[in-house]
Each structure stands twice: as structure tokens, then as C-alpha cells.
Amino acid sequence: MALPIVKGSRYTTVLPSTGAEIEYRPYNVGEEKLLMVALESKDQQMIIRTLKDVMQSCIFDKVDFDKFTVFDFEKLFLALRAKSVGEIVDLEMKCQDTECNSVTPVSVNLEEINLTDLPESNTIIIDNDIGVTLRFPGVQDVERYDEEHLAKPQGAFDLMIDCIDTIFDEEGVYNTKEEPRESVEAFLNNLSSAQFRKLSTFFESIPTLTHNIEYKCIKCGKENELELKGLQSFFT
Ligand SMILES: [Zn+2]
């Protein structure tokens, strides 16, 4: 005898960078298990791979995650998580008083988490007529490196090189994909600190998932305040 299959609901969400609508169903228990195993591994590449697989199964149209910005990807997962498991995530937050260190349970409503605004422009004028156009880091870019490398200055630098689309001057526009990577790296190394700062400002203003939480420590009563940032901080 064939057992019945429970039909799920359909929802839509909007990608922040393009405004494109994505239609999806919640993930099921089997898929949730895959996600939990991946998250527990703390292996960034495995986590992204599993997220991609599960998210693709839940999205009705075929999507190319390699073209997704990191923040679109995170926002989409958050929407999926909210409809699959529920909007409320229970976190255990440490007291910021280093002598206390007690853990207080805190609930976060995923639907209240917003992305910061997009930067005004992706064109940066570095000096007189020389400038660059930048793109947002994509899922593909982050997947290429491990988390440890990305946290180092060289990692941030590598990601910056990946995200320079073109370099231009009064004579023309140079597509960096057609230039050797070493040339792009040399271009960056040649900038003054003040010029380099203009580029880093763009990367610092990339939309991120942020949420401020306030909680009173259950042990010492200290009022704690913290900004949660990035996908993983909402799940660990
Ligand atoms: Zn405390």
C-alpha cells in the first residue's frame, strides 16, 4: 500500500540585489537533517554545498547559485528557515561580563532581521581618471576559500581581487578577467593607503544580515547588548 505524501505550502521571497521573486517550499525533516549535519561540521565548503543542494530542492525554478551574491543567498536561506522550522530561533548567549560568562537563552525572530542598505554605487574613482568597478562577493567566491583564510588580511585581499570587474582610465576600460591575476594584484599593491581605503569602504558597506539583541543575564543581571552578524551567528 502506498502511503500518502503530505503536500506542502508554497511561498515567495524577493532577492535583495535584483528584486527577483523566488518561489519555494519549506524544507522537510530529511533535508533539515542534512543541514544540521553540515552545520555541525563547521566546514564552510561543506555547509555551502549542502545549503545549495537543499535550497535548490526547495526552489521551484532552477537557479544558478554561482551568480548569487552572498547576501542574497543568506537572505533566501533565512526565508526558507523561517517557513520550514519557524520564525523563532533560540540562541544561548554568553554574558559579556568576563567574570560571569553565564549563558542566557535568547529568542530571535528571523522575520525581524534585515539587510543593511546597498552601497550607492559600485564605481569607485581612485585618482583623477582612474577608477574601478566592483561587484559584490558571490557564493562562488566565498566557496573557493576556507573561512580561516578569509579572516586574514590576505584572504580579504584575494576576495577584493576577485570582485574587481573592470579597471578604467582615460584611455579605456580593462576587463580584469582578461588580465593576469598578478597584474590586478600589482594594481592594488600600487595604491596608496588613502586610495585603498576607498575600495575597502565599498566592501565594508556590502549588505549583511544584522540584528541587535539585548538580554539581561539570568545569573548576574547584567544588561547585555550585541549585534548578530552573518548567517552562522543565527544558528550556532
Ligand atoms: Zn552575567
| Burial (0-12, 13-18, 19+ Cβ within 10 Å), 70 | buried
Query: Residue 130 C-alpha to ligand 1 middle, in angstroms?
Result: 52
When pLDDT is cut at 50, 70 and 90, the band that residue 199 belongs to is very high
Cα-to-centroid distance, 223 and ligand 1 (Å): 8
CA dihedral 66, 70, 76, 82 (to 10 degrees): 140
Residue 211 CA to ligand 1 centre (angstroms): 21
DSSP reduced 3-state for 109:
strand
Q: How confident is the model at residue 12 (pLDDT cuts 50, 70, 90)?
A: very high
Could you give phi then psi for residue 31, rounded to 5 degrees? -70, -35
Range 208-223 burial, b when 16+ CB lie within 10 A, else e: ebebeeebebeeeeee
Q: Return phi, psi of residue 46, to 5°.
A: -65, -40
- Would you state the pLDDT for residue 44? 82
Cα of 216 from ligand 1 centre, angstroms? 8
- The pTM assigned to this predicted structure is 0.84
Distance CA 166, CA 168 (A): 6
Cα of 113 vs centre of ligand 1, distance in Å, is: 25
pLDDT digits (tens, 9 = 90+) for 133-173: 999 999 988 888 877 888 898 998 999 999 999 999 999 99
* Predicted pLDDT of residue 144: 86
| pLDDT tens digits, 31-89 | 999 999 998 888 888 889 999 999 999 999 999 998 899 999 999 999 999 999 888 98
Average pLDDT on 192-209 reads 91
Instruction: Please tell me the distance between residue 99's alpha carbon and the centre of ligand 1 in angstroms.
Output: 8
Least reliable range by pLDDT among 18-22, 153-157, 206-210, 227-231: 227-231
C-alpha 178 to ligand 1 mean position (Å): 55
pLDDT for the residue 5 = 74
Q: Is the pLDDT of residue 236 over 60?
A: no
Residue 92 Cα to ligand 1 midpoint, Å, equals 13
How do residues 81-126 score in pLDDT, each as one tens digit? 999 988 898 999 999 998 998 999 999 998 888 888 888 899 999 9
pLDDT at residue 166 in the model: 97
Is the CB of residue 188 less than 8 Å from the CB of residue 161? yes
